[in-house]
Structure 1
Amino acid sequence: MRQHPLFYALAAIVLWASLATLGASVAALPPFFTVGVSLMVGSLCAIRHWRQWRVPPATLLLGVVGLFGYHFFLFVAFRLAPAVEANLLNYLWPLLIVLLSPVLLPGYHLNTRHILGALAGFVGAALVVTGGKLSIDLTALPGYGCAALAALLWAGYSLLTKRVPAFPTAAIGGFCLLSGALSLACHALMEPAVHPSASQWLTLLLLGAGPMGLAFFLWDKALKLGDPRQIGALSYLTPLLSTLLLVASGRGQLGPTTGAAIALIVGGALAGTVDWKGLRRR
């Protein structure tokens, strides 16, 4: 029995939600080193099918721009802009997936529930990320631009994988390997050398096995089988689940706006993914 594409998307979202909690354990390590090692580990998820990593150059370029380009500009954004505002702009990617679906993919159009669901999710994510407090620093405009570009790259990658010639999901392993190598090259050029502890190495392995590895394969499977408008709306569960995991681990706390954020994100996800007219007809 074929699994529903939203199952794959939700599994990827749950894994991505663990990224902040695991990342907090290796926060002392340089970011490009963390990403590079994690992606290299993530490529091992498909090492048994390495022969399927051979794809056309354009497909490989798309994969590397998606994985490496997204993380590169996101980390540059965190260097040039306040983390909260940069992270908020980063969470434009689910909204962009919804809005760009009819632009990049033939046969898709937007209706009211898709747009309202995505907008509600973004407002909810904004409340989660900012705690209801937002300050714009005009000197950080380059950083804001990098964060928005990162979101655009991830949304574009997610949608354009449906436009390139069909490729096996196992090929994501090749994308991870090359993107990881480029990240480690950035580490060598831009960051100081490090010597992780045993516990940090373990966390890097967990990052590579989960949110920086298996999640990308599940995401690819979801997008190949599913409707990107629904998947985009569902994706706003990521910052919500991430925050709840941080709270559960003792690394975060819930603010007064959390209830409203939960209502907006869950409501937006339901609005964007459930065909209410179809349910009424049945």
Structure 2
Amino acid sequence: MTNFQADKKALGYALAAVLLWSTVASAFKITLQYLTPLQMVAAASCVSFVFLFAVMLYQGRLGQILPELKRHTLYYLCLGLLNPLVYYLVLFQAYTLLPASQAQPLNYTWAIALTLMAAIFLGQKIRKRDWIACAFGYLGVLVIATQGNLLALEFTSGLGVALALISTFLWAGYWILNTRHQTDAVLTLLICFLVSLPFSLGASFIFTDWSGIPWQGWAAVTYVGLFEMGLTFVLWLNAMKLATNTAKISNLIFISPFISLMLLAFIIGETIYPATIFGLLLIIFGLLVQQWQRRTTVAGEPRPRIGSGVFRRRK
């Protein structure tokens, strides 16, 4: 395969992943009409696990799962409880408290959170451009959260904003832990879902009622499980592997939040305020400043949310 053919195929994979990731904020809102955040985590995790298991089966790599888990049991226990369990519980709770048009842009600050955490836990130096990125990114957060009324500092939901920002640090923590253990990304994610399932399923049966969920709820949560961290994740990985210049491919993720906002307006009927667009532009500008002449090694993993390629977020 020539470089041109590889880049063309990578572009196709990347565009498919970006378009699918752009739909998940709407899917979150639809699913939360029928399921609680805990039920949503449990059911979506089952779907993601089944899909990733099928991928490993197709690749003939099922024999790697148990040996890898046995060698690093405690590591995967911590990693799996962090993501998907705690991360998505916090994220979905934020979506219950905030309009998705607010929660989704806030999630894009995870790369800024990653820089701050990498400085603390990995000893990486924070450069001037990182501080500039933080300033623009979190100014954008304030603009979105207050709908442009910065002086009043009145939030649609202070708790929702706090949970959305906490989720960015949880996701950044997940990728920092990943830097300590270099294993195939699909295998790692599959084991994380495997480890978390007994906890999420057990808690959901104890604390929630699964009866009476209509087919629309099951269809929506299946969509979330497949396209938030299943098929889309694999598409993005393939794009990164094939691309001769990953920077050109990873920058495509910047179109995702704008497509997502349009879908939220048309599908969910949310009002997209000018302050939301302006705040998102501030966040994107901060991320571009941060990436100028620098790529954080731990940010090289595939997730723009709107999950995992530098950015996502995705989730």
Please give the alpha-carbon distance, in whole angstroms, between the structure 1 residues aligned to 2:143 and 2:28: 21
Q: How does 1:131-142 map to 2 (within 5 A)?
A: 131-132=147-148, 134-135=153-154
- 3-state DSSP class of the match of 2:210? coil
Of 109, 115, 125, the residue aligned with 1:109 is: 125
Please give the alpha-carbon distance, in whole angstroms, between the structure 2 residues aligned to 1:158 and 1:267: 23
Q: Which amino acid aligns with 1:135?
A: E
- 3-state DSSP class of the match of 1:195? coil
- The answer on 1:157 being equivalent to 2:174 is yes
Q: Aligned pair in 2 of structure 1 residues 16, 159: CA closer, same or farther (>3 Å)?
A: farther
Counterpart residue number, 2:304:
none
* CA RMSD between the two structures: 4.1
Of 38, 43, 47, the residue aligned with 1:37 is: 43
Q: Aligned pair in 2 of structure 1 residues 178, 150: CA closer, same or farther (>3 Å)?
A: same
Of 30, 34, 46, the residue aligned with 1:28 is: 34
Please give the alpha-carbon distance, in whole angstroms, between the structure 1 residues aligned to 2:259 and 2:164: 21
Contact 1:120 1:267 in 2 (8 A): yes
Of 137, 146, 149, the residue aligned with 1:121 is: 137
- 3-state DSSP class of the match of 2:148? coil
Give 1:15 shift.
Answer: 4.5
Of 16, 24, 30, the residue aligned with 1:19 is: 24
Please give the alpha-carbon distance, in whole angstroms, between the structure 2 residues aligned to 1:116 and 1:10: 29
**Residue deviations 1:173-207 (CA, integer Å, cap 9, x gap):** 12123324422222112212233333332222211
Segment drifting more, 167-176 vs 56-65: 56-65
- 3-state DSSP class of the match of 1:20? helix
Task: Report how many residues are paired.
Answer: 261
Please give the alpha-carbon distance, in whole angstroms, between the structure 2 residues aligned to 1:117 and 1:103: 17
Q: Aligned pair in 2 of structure 1 residues 137, 68: CA closer, same or farther (>3 Å)?
A: same
Of 261, 268, 273, the residue aligned with 2:286 is: 268
Please give the alpha-carbon distance, in whole angstroms, between the structure 2 residues aligned to 1:223 and 1:110: 26
Give 1:237 shift.
Answer: 7.1
Q: Aligned pair in 2 of structure 1 residues 13, 126: CA closer, same or farther (>3 Å)?
A: farther
Percent of paired sites with the same residue: 25
Contact 1:125 1:236 in 2 (8 A): no
Contact 1:91 1:122 in 2 (8 A): no
Counterpart residue number, 1:243:
261
Q: Aligned pair in 2 of structure 1 residues 198, 186: CA closer, same or farther (>3 Å)?
A: same
Counterpart residue number, 2:205:
188
Q: Which amino acid aligns with 1:31?
A: P
Give 1:12 shift.
Answer: 6.5
Counterpart residue number, 2:227:
210
Segment drifting more, 60-69 vs 213-222: 213-222
**Residue deviations 1:99-137 (CA, integer Å, cap 9, x gap):** 12233235x322222221243233324433542354369
Counterpart residue number, 2:196:
179
Please give the alpha-carbon distance, in whole angstroms, between the structure 2 residues aligned to 1:254 and 1:89: 14
Q: Aligned pair in 2 of structure 1 residues 89, 272: CA closer, same or farther (>3 Å)?
A: closer
Give 1:92 shift.
Answer: 5.5
Please give the alpha-carbon distance, in whole angstroms, between the structure 2 residues aligned to 1:95 and 1:66: 19
Give 1:60 shift.
Answer: 0.8
Counterpart residue number, 1:199:
216
Q: Which runs of 5+ in 2 are unaligned?
A: 57-61, 242-250, 295-315
Q: Which runs of 5+ in 1 are unaligned?
A: 225-232, 277-282
- 3-state DSSP class of the match of 1:249? helix
**Residue deviations 1:206-241 (CA, integer Å, cap 9, x gap):** 1111114345567889999xxxxxxxx998876555
Of 141, 154, 167, the residue aligned with 2:183 is: 167
Q: Aligned pair in 2 of structure 1 residues 235, 116: CA closer, same or farther (>3 Å)?
A: farther
Q: Which amino acid aligns with 2:216?
A: S
Contact 2:84 2:192 in 1 (8 A): yes
Under a length normalisation based on structure 2, what TM-score does the superposition of the two structures give?
0.65
Q: Aligned pair in 2 of structure 1 residues 211, 41: CA closer, same or farther (>3 Å)?
A: same
- 3-state DSSP class of the match of 1:70? helix
Give 1:169 shift.
Answer: 1.4
Q: Aligned pair in 2 of structure 1 residues 274, 169: CA closer, same or farther (>3 Å)?
A: same
Give 1:10 shift.
Answer: 8.9
Contact 1:12 1:216 in 2 (8 A): yes
Contact 1:32 1:187 in 2 (8 A): yes
- 3-state DSSP class of the match of 1:122? helix
